[in-house]
Amino acid sequence: MSAQKLKIGCAGLGRMGKRHALNFLERTPRAELVAASSPDDAELEWAKVHLAPYGVKLYKNYDDMLKHEGLEAVVVASATAVHAEQAIKAIDANKHVLCEKPLSTSVEISQTVLDAAARKPELKVMCGFSRRFDASYRDAHKKMTQGSIGSPSVMRSQTCDKLDPTGFFVAYAEFSGGIFVDCSIHDIDLALWFFGQDSKVKSVSAVGITAVEPDLRKHNDRDNAVGLVEFYNGKIAYFYASRMMAAGQEDTTEIIGTQGKLTVNAQPAMNLVNIFDNTGVRREIPQHYYDRFEYAFVTEANEFTASCLDNKDVPLKLEGAVQAVRIGSALQESLITGQKIFFDEAGNRVDKPRL
């Protein structure tokens, strides 16, 4: 008798949806991709070539895919605007859910996913923060928990995308929730992981500029921004987000402790090749986010599948996804208003008079 496989469907076949679909189809031995959906005709044409020949049933309507016979789980990789709606529909249909980040650009809507999951505790519901599954970040976290740098006190982390001259980021900003909710959400999640999921935010502040894409201001967004988060446990996190890196993707993290520090990807590199030519010595770096974290997404798919089949806890708590959106949204608000935002230890916004 063959081993049980998790029957999974993929919602959304855009850039990220294609990657998830292929990972579950080709690189997750304990999963079987049985269905995929997209309202976009071009995406369905891609799926007819890359998925349908392997027995994957294609649907134009997401609700129809949820009715696919034997479907047990759904990966939601569609547009951010429908993440929460599709995740809740899947939960209500008794399907396990892996949802791409963020759950929503709204704290309140993100909370509705958490509430829906709480009503079905037998289901595995997870938000996919890919860096939690990266071997280097996991190694750094293990070393930190073993006490190699003393008490972690300061984090500096960045998500810096390669410059896209097509204007993609301007169009995307209308729906993304802003650079902190879209880009820095990964770094925010890392801060909650390394500092502890129970870390309470004391204040947030942010500044930003439009160095290459002034039209971003029409959507209350920036192409470069810096955010500072102060926690009640005496720790601070500094986030840098950018849309204009010339050489390629630069996602770097530094965790500074009382007895040392850890860095992840401080000198980005595509591989171990150095190029020696008449320009000097150089190396190529990943061009896009997926280039850097390809294998993290594969690990994520396999560990989510194992959680569903073996009835284990998912690798990260869904509450953290709501916390990350709450912090990212506050940073975006501070970026727009220029005001520092304060919270009490219960997580409520408070007014703090200037002295």
Query: Which residue type, as a one-letter code, is found at position 18?
Result: K
Whole-angstrom Cα distance, residue 350 to residue 353? 10
pLDDT value for 174: 87
Q: CB within 8 A of 196, min separation 6: which ones?
A: 233
Sign (positive/negative) of CA torsion 5, 103, 225, 150? Answer: negative
Q: Structure tokens of 221?
A: 């967004």
Sign (positive/negative) of CA torsion 183, 189, 192, 198? Answer: positive
Inter-CA distances, 294 with 3, 12, 106, 135, 251, Å: 26, 18, 27, 11, 13
Whole-angstrom Cα distance, residue 198 to residue 222? 30
- HEC assignment per residue over 210-276: CCCCHHHHHHCCCCEEEEEEEECCCCEEEEEEEEEECCCCEEEEEEEECCEEEEECCCCCCCCCCEE
pLDDT value for 1: 32
Asked if 262 and 140 count as a contact pair (C-beta separation under 8 A), the reply is yes
Asked if 78 and 64 count as a contact pair (C-beta separation under 8 A), the reply is no
pLDDT value for 355: 52
CB atoms within 10 A of CB 3: 7
Whole-angstrom Cα distance, residue 131 to residue 293? 7
Sheet holding 6-11, edge to edge: 57-59, 31-37, 6-11, 73-76, 96-100, 125-128
pLDDT value for 353: 58
Asked if 104 and 309 count as a contact pair (C-beta separation under 8 A), the reply is no
- The residue among 10, 12, 329, 11 whose CA lies nearest residue 176 is 329
Q: Structure tokens of 331?
A: 């940073």
Q: Structure tokens of 74?
A: 């759904």
Please state whether the peptide bond connecting residue 121 to the residue before it is cis, i.e. omega within 30 degrees of 0.
no
Q: Is 43 helix (H, G, I), strand (E, B) or coil?
A: helix
Q: Structure tokens of 216?
A: 């971003």
Asked if 256 and 236 count as a contact pair (C-beta separation under 8 A), the reply is no
Asked if 326 and 320 count as a contact pair (C-beta separation under 8 A), the reply is no
Inter-CA distances, 66 with 7, 24, 73, 98, 263, Å: 12, 17, 9, 14, 42
Residue ranges for the chain with pLDDT beneath 50: 1-2
The DSSP H or E segment spanning 154 is strand 152-162
Residues in the chain, overall count: 355
Whole-angstrom Cα distance, residue 256 to residue 246? 28
Domains of the chain, start order: 6-127 (3.40.50.720), 142-292+323-350 (3.30.360.10)
Asked if 149 and 143 count as a contact pair (C-beta separation under 8 A), the reply is yes
Q: What is the pTM of this model?
A: 0.94
